[in-house]
Amino acid sequence: MPNLEKHFLSDAGIPGLSEAFGEACSNVRPCMAGRATWSHRVVHHAARETGWWNLNNRETFPGNKIEEMFERNFSEACKRFIEGAYLYKIPAGSIRTPEIADAAISTIRSILKLNKQNIDPGSDN
């Protein structure tokens, strides 16, 4: 993911991959049922797409299979967020940070679209 997108995702309250994975693994533990809190819809969406059971039982899978699956889902959820596509809603009372205003999200998306148009396709941006 380009640095510009990472910067805007961070400004929107979305944690980095490592922090998001830790949050997801923590929130799917059985003792967190009904008490899980999510920092952002992107993290919740990626965790849900990865699967609660998979995250909770990740040690039973070979290597980093579940972490890799979460990474793909997190990356896709970030793209969906930038594009304004549907993300699963977080259950009421389960978010730690205030919702980002629609105007701020629109501004971020507009800036990202403008920057994507101005990036030289031959560069590493």
Q: What is the pLDDT of residue 44?
A: 94
Q: Is residue 18 part of a domain?
A: yes
Q: Which residue has the higher pLDDT, 107 or 48?
A: 48
Percent of the chain scored above 90 by pLDDT?
42
In a domain, 100, yes or no: yes
CB 37 within 8 A of CB 96: yes
Residue 124 domain flag: no
Q: Is residue 73 part of a domain?
A: yes
- State the total domains in the chain: 1
> What per-residue confidence (pLDDT) applies to 24?
96
Instruction: Answer whether residue 88 is part of any domain.
Output: yes
Provide φ and ψ at 58, rounded to 5°.
-60, -25
21 located within any domain: yes
Domain span including residue 92 = 3-117
**Domain assignment present for 41:** yes
pLDDT in tens, 35-92: 888 999 999 999 999 999 999 999 999 999 999 999 999 999 999 998 888 888 877 6
Residue 123 lies in a domain: no
Identify the pLDDT of residue 88.
87
pLDDT higher than threshold 70 for residue 17: yes
Query: pTM for the whole thing?
Result: 0.70
Q: What is the average per-residue pLDDT within 10-30?
A: 91
Q: Which residues contact 82 (CB under 8 A, 6 or more apart)?
A: 5, 8, 9, 108, 109, 112
> 82: left (phi > 0), else alpha (psi -120 to 50), else beta?
alpha
